[in-house]
């Protein structure tokens, strides 16, 4: 997913419209139009998210955990809401970030998750997202 | 597992929903708002009053406008919630039937504190009767205006129709995109659901009650 993918579509897109869908290994990443400055990203896997993913993403912000889902709040960056057993998460970037950063961050999170699903570890050679 | 309202209410109220540094509350796939019910009521009943003062014959049109606003709100709000990650994690595992989508949504609504909603009757694909206590629309109305002869919970009333339309007409269980086209398709169908507020605290009843049925059976 590149920053300008779906650029033509976004000029006429309305809220919630799918701009593009890419598979990052075993992770499906769907980008939807939020507003002129913000996209939203859905991260879906066929299997549950590993707990190592929660530990990794929790280092990026404040973790709020409920029995069946959790939310990572990274002020100035994003909010990630994760239903680990359902294998689904939503990334809502903050307006302080730009579209390029948003797309890169979503991609990097998907890559880390895919690495964990493949190797059962968070130590796959992933770049730090943002 | 059937819908466990207590678990849903405890989980949602424990989420610590509060505005972030942008002043937004992103949750359940929506941007929630936290504002005074009196403020909403003032606008809603103000619209009604202004139109009726202009011409009493506009009463029906005013109610139709407020109901339409409620249908649009329900479509996006309930639709968004039922498509959300939080729903997937919290409510979906409890769902055993299509009717549980209605009951699950009612539990989330109660968790948000929009009143105390209770499903009194649910005939699949046909009819929903909901009782509502502590409706902020009726109590807000009575704070500012004398008792009426007609119901006043326009948002809750349209919301109940919206919920039935999402579950039985728009098939929210398939997670359709909540587009304007889908809204029009669902709500303009002659068989789509409409709600009638049979009892309302604003007209002196002990509580409010909504009966939701298809326009054409
Ligand atoms: Zn009422």
pLDDT in tens, B12-53: 998 888 889 988 899 998 888 888 899 999 999 999 999 999
Total Cβ atoms within 10 A of residue B200: 25
Please tell me the predicted confidence (pLDDT) of residue A1.
57
Give the mean pLDDT of B203-212.
98
- Here the ipTM equals 0.85
- Chain B residues lying within 8 Å of A45, measured CB to CB: none
> Rounded distance, CA B59 to CA B46, Å?
12
Q: What is the 3-state secondary structure of chain A?
A: CCCCCCHHHHCCCCCCCEEEEEEECCEEEEEEEEECCEEEEEEEECCCCCHHHHHHHHCCCEEEECCCCEEEEECCCEEEEEECCCCEEEEEECCCCCHHHHHHHHHHHHHHHHHHHHHCCCCCCCCCCC
**B1, pLDDT greater than 80:** no
- Among A67-76, A120-129, B107-116, B135-144, which stretch is predicted with the lowest mean pLDDT? A120-129
Assigned CATH topology for domain B5-214: Muramoyl-pentapeptide Carboxypeptidase; domain 2 (3.30.1380)
Q: CB A83 to CB B86 under 8 A? A: yes
B181 vs B29, higher pLDDT: B181
**B20 and A CB contact within 8 Å:** yes
In eight-state DSSP terms, residue B114 is S
B23 vs B125, higher pLDDT: B125
User: Cα of A22 to ligand 1 centre, how many Å?
Assistant: 47
Tokens 């039937």 identify what position? B97
B159: which 2 tokens?
């919301």
Residue of A nearest to B12 (CA): A66
In eight-state DSSP terms, residue B165 is I
Confidence bin at B211 (pLDDT 50/70/90): very high
Asked if residues A21 and A103 have their Cβ atoms less than 8 Å apart, the reply is no
Distances, alpha carbon B96 to alpha carbons A129, B79, B107, B162, B170, in Å: 39, 19, 15, 21, 19
Distances, alpha carbon B148 to alpha carbons A129, B6, B204, B207, in Å: 59, 35, 8, 14
Q: Where are the domains of chain A?
A: 17-116
Total Cβ atoms within 10 A of residue A85: 15
pLDDT digits (tens, 9 = 90+) for B60-81: 999 999 999 999 999 999 999 9
Please tell me the predicted confidence (pLDDT) of residue A2.
54
**B85 and A CB contact within 8 Å:** yes
> Cα angle vertex B186, ends B183, B189, to 5°?
135
Distances, alpha carbon B31 to alpha carbons A64, B13, B23, B73, in Å: 18, 16, 10, 12
Q: Is B209 helix (H, G, I), strand (E, B) or coil?
A: strand
Please tell me the predicted confidence (pLDDT) of residue A9.
76
Nearest CA among B77, B63, B92 for reference residue B157: B63
Q: How many residues belong to chain B?
A: 217
Please tell me the predicted confidence (pLDDT) of residue A5.
54
pTM attached to this predicted model: 0.91
**B140, pLDDT greater than 60:** yes
Please tell me the predicted confidence (pLDDT) of residue A125.
45
- Chain A residues lying within 8 Å of B16, measured CB to CB: 64
> Rounded distance, CA B33 to CA B18, Å?
9
> Rounded distance, CA B119 to CA B115, Å?
13
Q: CB B89 to CB A76 under 8 A? A: no
Please tell me the distance in Å from B207's CA to the nearest CA on chain A: 34
Give the mean pLDDT of B86-94.
97
CATH number for A17-116: choose from 3.30.70, 3.40.630, 3.30.310, 3.40.50: 3.30.310
**Positions of chain A with pLDDT lower than 50, given as ranges:** 121-122, 124-130
> Rounded distance, CA A122 to CA A115, Å?
7
Confidence bin at B113 (pLDDT 50/70/90): confident
B76: which 2 tokens?
């996006």
Burial classification of residue A23, based on how many CB atoms lie within 10 Å of its CB (0-12 exposed, 13-18 middle, 19 or more buried): exposed
């Amino acid at each position: 997913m590149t920053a300008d993918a779906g650029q033509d579509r976004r000029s006429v897109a309305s809220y919630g419209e799918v701009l593009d869908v890419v598979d990052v290994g075993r992770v499906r990443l769907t980008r939807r139009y939020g507003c002129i400055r913000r996209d939203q990203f859905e991260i879906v896997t066929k299997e549950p998210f590993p707990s190592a993913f929660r530990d990794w993403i929790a280092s990026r912000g404040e973790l709020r955990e409920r029995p069946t889902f959790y939310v990572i709040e990274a002020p100035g960056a994003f909010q990630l809401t994760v239903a680990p057993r359902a294998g689904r998460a939503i990334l809502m970037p903050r307006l302080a970030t730009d579209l390029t950063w948003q797309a890169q961050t979503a991609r990097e999170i998907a890559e880390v998750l895919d690495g964990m699903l493949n190797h059962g570890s968070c130590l796959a050679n992933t770049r730090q997202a943002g | 597992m059937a819908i466990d309202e207590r678990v849903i209410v405890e989980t949602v109220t424990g989420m610590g929903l509060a505005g972030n540094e942008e002043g937004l509350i992103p949750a359940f796939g929506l941007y929630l708002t936290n504002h005074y019910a009196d403020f909403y009521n003032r606008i809603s009943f103000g619209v009604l009053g202004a139109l009726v003062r202009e011409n009493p014959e506009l009463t029906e049109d005013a109610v139709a406008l407020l109901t339409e606003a409620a249908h649009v709100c329900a479509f996006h709000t309930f639709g968004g919630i039922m498509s959300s990650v939080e729903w997937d994690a919290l409510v979906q595992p409890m769902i055993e039937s299509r009717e549980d989508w209605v009951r699950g949504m009612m539990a989330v609504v109660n968790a948000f504190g929009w009143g105390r909603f209770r499903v009194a009757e649910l005939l699949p694909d046909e009819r929903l009767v909901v009782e509502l206590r502590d409706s902020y629309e009726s109590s807000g109305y009575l704070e500012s205006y004398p008792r009426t002869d007609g119901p006043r919970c326009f948002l809750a009333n349209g919301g109940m129709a919206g919920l039935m339309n999402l579950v039985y007409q728009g098939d929210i269980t398939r997670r359709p995109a909540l587009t304007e086209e889908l809204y029009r398709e669902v709500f303009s169908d002659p068989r789509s659901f409409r709600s009638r507020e049979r009892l309302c605290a604003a007209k002196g009843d002990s509580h409010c009650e909504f009966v939701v049925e298809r326009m054409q059976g």
